Chain A
Amino acid sequence: MDKNATQSKRERYLTFYIGNEQYGIAINRIKEIIAMMNITKVPKIPAYMRGVINLRGSIIPVVDTRLRFNMDYRESDMHTAIIIVEVEKISIGFIVDRVEEVSSIDSSSLSEPPKFGNGIDTDFICSVAQIEDNVVMILDVLKLFEADELVSLEQIEQKQTQGE
């Protein structure tokens, strides 16, 4: 009934929407999905960082993915979710408009991301996949954060755990 053939080249991705666009993150990076919760603002952090959440005692920085992509701010609603991803042993939450599903994507249906020319940063899109009629942009979470940003995330975490 279900297609289980050719497992070897299939990878699984969590897909989600930001605006009308569908994105995916490899599930081996994902720790969990949580509903929107209260975010504590932290001073002097990039505008796209909304602050930190306290998830069962762990302080986790949260990124507004819309703002990171230079899209307009949007109020959260019942579909808004935070995807907790592990990057270089640091947990980071990404706010997304709506979680779609876990999809198996065959590596043969992945292609290079389009080039839009100078000034448009598509670095964090590592590939583009076609799932049925949808185009899904697979995100490279490592590239969403430059090395220095990871360091500052670490500092935020430390500041919070030390109670400032």
Chain B
Amino acid sequence: MAKRVIIVDDSRAVIATAELALEGMINSKTIEFKSYLNPMELLGALQNGSENFDLLISDVNMPQLNGLDLARAIKADERYKNKPIIILTTESSNEMKMSGKEIGVTGWMVKPFSDDKLVKSLQMVLGV
């Protein structure tokens, strides 16, 4: 069964970059890839049960909802509280890491990320 990986980022370029990096895993059906530009749309879909994921990769600074607040809202939901979330950020301040830890995010990735790093992180988190 392909693992469902969701990325949410308000930048189409970041989404396309991730999709290109993961092309091999998408082609081999190791993962299925879905993207959202708007975190509110994702949150709504998760809450009404029309969406699900095995791994969520989320940007931090998005106009509609901050990635950490998104992670907090998702983790508060019984259905998703044990699902891994990786946060994408341009700077990884200690303060941010602390609040991420408190929310229960699995890890951080600093942008721009290399294809290799993204693939390895996915393999590690998903065990694929």
Q: Which residues of A contact B (CB under 8 A)?
A: 2, 4, 12, 14, 27, 30, 32-35, 79, 81, 98-102
**A81–B17 alpha-carbon span in the complex (Å):** 11
Q: Is the CB of A102 within 8 A of B20?
A: yes
- Most chain A CB within a 10 A radius of its CB, from B15, B20, B35, B112: B20
Chain A to chain B: the 9 pairs with minimum beta-carbon distance, closest first: A99-B13, A102-B19, A33-B17, A81-B13, A99-B16, A99-B12, A102-B16, A33-B13, A101-B16
With beta carbons under 8 angstroms apart, the residue of B13, B20, B32, B115 that contacts A35 is B13
**A33–B115 alpha-carbon span in the complex (Å):** 11
Q: Is the CB of A27 within 8 A of B20?
A: yes
Known contacts A2-B32, A100-B16; 15 further A-B pairs (Cβ under 8 A): A4-B32, A27-B23, A32-B20, A33-B16, A33-B20, A34-B112, A35-B112, A79-B13, A98-B13, A99-B12, A100-B12, A101-B15, A101-B19, A101-B35, A102-B20
Q: Which residues of B contact A32 (CB under 8 A)?
A: 17, 20, 115
Q: Is the CB of B16 within 8 A of A14?
A: yes
- Most chain A CB within a 10 A radius of its CB, from B13, B15, B34: B13
Closest A residue to B52 by CB, please name it: A1
Chain B residues with a Cβ closer than 8 Å to the other chain, count: 14
Closest A residue to B35 by CB, please name it: A101
Task: List residues of B (22-49) whose CB comes within 8 Å of A's CBs.
Answer: 23, 29, 32, 34-35
Q: Which residues of B contact A102 (CB under 8 A)?
A: 16, 19-20, 23
Closest A residue to B22 by CB, please name it: A102
Q: How far is the CB of B56 from chain A (nearest CB, A)?
A: 16
**A81–B13 alpha-carbon span in the complex (Å):** 8
**A27–B19 alpha-carbon span in the complex (Å):** 10
Closest A residue to B32 by CB, please name it: A2
**A6–B112 alpha-carbon span in the complex (Å):** 34
11 pairs, A vs B, C-beta closer than 8 Å: A2-B32, A27-B23, A33-B16, A35-B13, A81-B13, A99-B13, A100-B16, A101-B15, A101-B16, A102-B16, A102-B19
Q: How far is the CB of A4 from chain B (nearest CB, A)?
A: 8
Closest A residue to B19 by CB, please name it: A102
Q: How far is the CB of A53 from chain B (nearest CB, A)?
A: 14
**A4–B31 alpha-carbon span in the complex (Å):** 12
Q: How far is the CB of A85 from chain B (nearest CB, A)?
A: 12
Q: How far is the CB of B117 from chain A (nearest CB, A)?
A: 13
